[in-house]
Amino acid sequence: MSREETRAADVKTYGRDLPPAELEELAVNTIRTLAMDGVQKAKSGHPGMPMGMADAAFVLWMRFLRHSPSWPQWPNRDRFVLSAGHGSMLLYSLLHLFGYPIGLDDLKSFRQWGSITPGHPERSPERGIETTTGPLGQGFANGVGMALAERMLAEEYNGDEEIVGHYTYAIVSDGDLMEGISHEAASLAGHLKLGRLIYLYDDNHISIEGGTDLAFSEDVAGRFQAYGWQVLKVDGHDREAVARAIEEARAETERPSLIMCHTHIAKGSPNKQDTAASHGAPLGEEEVAATKKALGWPLEPPFFVPDVVRELFAKRRGELDRAAEAWKEKFAAWRQAHPELAARWEAQMDKALPEGLEERLPVFETGKEIATRNASGEVLQVLSAEVPALVGGSADLAPSTKTLIKDAADVGPASYGGRNLRFGVREHAMGAMMNGMALHGGFLPYGGTFLVFADYMRPAIRLAAMMGQQVVYVFTHDSVFVGEDGPTHQPVEHAMSLRTIPGLVVIRPADAAETAEAWRVALERKEGPTALLLTRQGVPVLDREGLAPARMVERGGYVLLETEDPELILIATGSEVHVTLGAARLLAAEGRRVRVVNMASWELFDAQPEEYRREVLPPEVTRRMSVEAGITTGWERYVGLEGVKHGIDRFGASAPWKVIAEKWGFTPEAVAEKARALLKTGP
């Protein structure tokens, strides 16, 4: 028998006829060695965490986690979040072993160009990856949103049959718990009594720089107990102890649970266990070999999976797939018994919109001054009655952001059956929890705060865009016209900053009518997040006689006021549109030919066909001026090199908003004067 044939025979028989505990150990070491080999082959990554948490993860996935590789998007599956996303090889190895479409070659191409196994998990529902994690703490808060979504759906749809009843699990790290977002999310999870939320904390006392005692010495257990969590402590390598702790966590109905798994990072490595060297770098060829030898593992081939281990996972997969099929049968019977409730379920899961939504939007009185935040609040009342999936709230700012659904109850620990979410002063957690709710399915979440505080939400906004999740941000107090609150509360760079996020659509409507249309666009646009930028101050509802209709907002930019053979194009957004119209009319009275373009959304406009964009901004008209009460960086893409950018390239000032408008030239007269200079006409 050749060497290759002998090796193949060894692979076939390796681990055969082991008692259950030793077979489990073999399976756990398979996870460890796959992680080691993947990181080593990539020459980058984080081997220590997967090796340290392999025992606990095996117990969770093999004994408790309800999922179905044959039906990855089973609605009632347990949700699993690897918040410690740097340990992605742990997740990829588990998914591979359970038979999700992640092959051995995919593990071998970890972190490589075009692979489906990037350095940090990226949402892929068909492969069993629930969310994109990377920035520590985001996954922690995603899980809280998922758990809240489960409780809300259970309240709505469970009766004589439990249609919704799953758990949300996560593996979290020291880094997750250091990040501020975890404090916010944990606090709210405890307040909401999310008893089906169970987190396994990889308590290994090691971070990239060294021991966590360099910067992290708090009483984690005491902190989470203060938040209202159940805290359990176990040896993370004692699989039976981990199993007992998970059972105890599942039995607790009113408190989320943190299971503190004391582990050894890089468990099994003779020279790098319990060291920072194993956190964010490969073990090295020699140490990989030494570790395999210490584990009694074959040195060859790399990425070795014993057949007996594959059989173990296949057996569990069969049990899980049968559980999913049983739920499907139960759901079919429930649908037949409760057709109206089932129809609502399907509409909510599909985030379905009613026919003729545009005709149902409120109509606003022409000429009346209405803050677009107030208009948004009116629109929300109509939409919430029409769209069951629409739920949301604010970061303790509902009276200002107008984000309260008036005829709906609050969602809280006493009842999850409402529509209004009270996030408290927690923008970080709000953004990530909204992502979690959207990822869970069944909800189209919105969240409100002042535009200046969008910075607190930026990581979650970025991830929502990366994952293509439909969430709506209601950002009010959208300019220096916040007024007396001063520069700390006056956004100048924020609109432009949000426009730089790929996949996010930013809409700054000009009046109440456009606000209604902006909401329609946000609800119809299911492929990503939408940010609505709304005014604090009143702006007149435009008289559309002689102007383009408000529904043109769906095209992003459009010709609001036309003139024959324009010699100048004025481009404005939001509350500056009516000011710009006033300037155009002053100039028209002087015989100037001025077109006004409303650029409500750069992203929607840029997505239009080139022919349309050239019609709105004809290249031959080079005299152009942008008008927006914010920084001017970026407007050159529309005004060109010969254009003028009228904005505010400095922080704001504390004064009544009308004084600010006058001082900084946001009046029809001031805009017209600047336009005259561009036209070289003089005063």
Q: DSSP for 50-66, please give it.
A: HHHHHHHHHHIIIII--
Sheet containing strand 230-235, strands side by side: 79-82, 168-173, 197-203, 257-262, 230-235
The residue to which tokens 């509360």 are assigned: 489
C-beta separation of 161 from 451 below 8 A: no
Distance, in Å, from the CA atom of 327 to the CA atom of 310, rounded to the nearest integer, reads: 26
H or E element, residue 346: helix 339-350
Cβ-contact 403, 474 below 8 angstroms: yes
Check 427, 517, 603, 628 and give the catalytic one: 427
Residues 6+ apart with CB under 8 A from 360: 354, 382, 386
- Taking the C-alpha atoms of residue 183 and residue 202, their distance in angstroms, rounded to an integer, is 17
**By the 8 A CB rule, do 472 and 430 touch?**
no
- Residue 282's alpha-carbon distances to 7, 88, 285, 461, in angstroms, are 26, 14, 8, 32
Q: Are 176 and 136 in contact (CB under 8 A)?
A: yes
Q: Is 42 helix (H, G, I), strand (E, B) or coil?
A: helix
β-sheet with 594-599: strand ranges across: 557-561, 594-599, 568-572, 624-627, 644-646
Name the burial class of residue 215, with classes exposed (0-12), middle (13-18) and buried (19+) by CB atoms within 10 angstroms of its CB. Answer: exposed
Specify whether 25 is catalytic.
no
Of all residues in the chain, what percent are helix, strand and coil, respectively (each to 5)? 50, 15, 40
By annotation, the residues acting in catalysis are 427
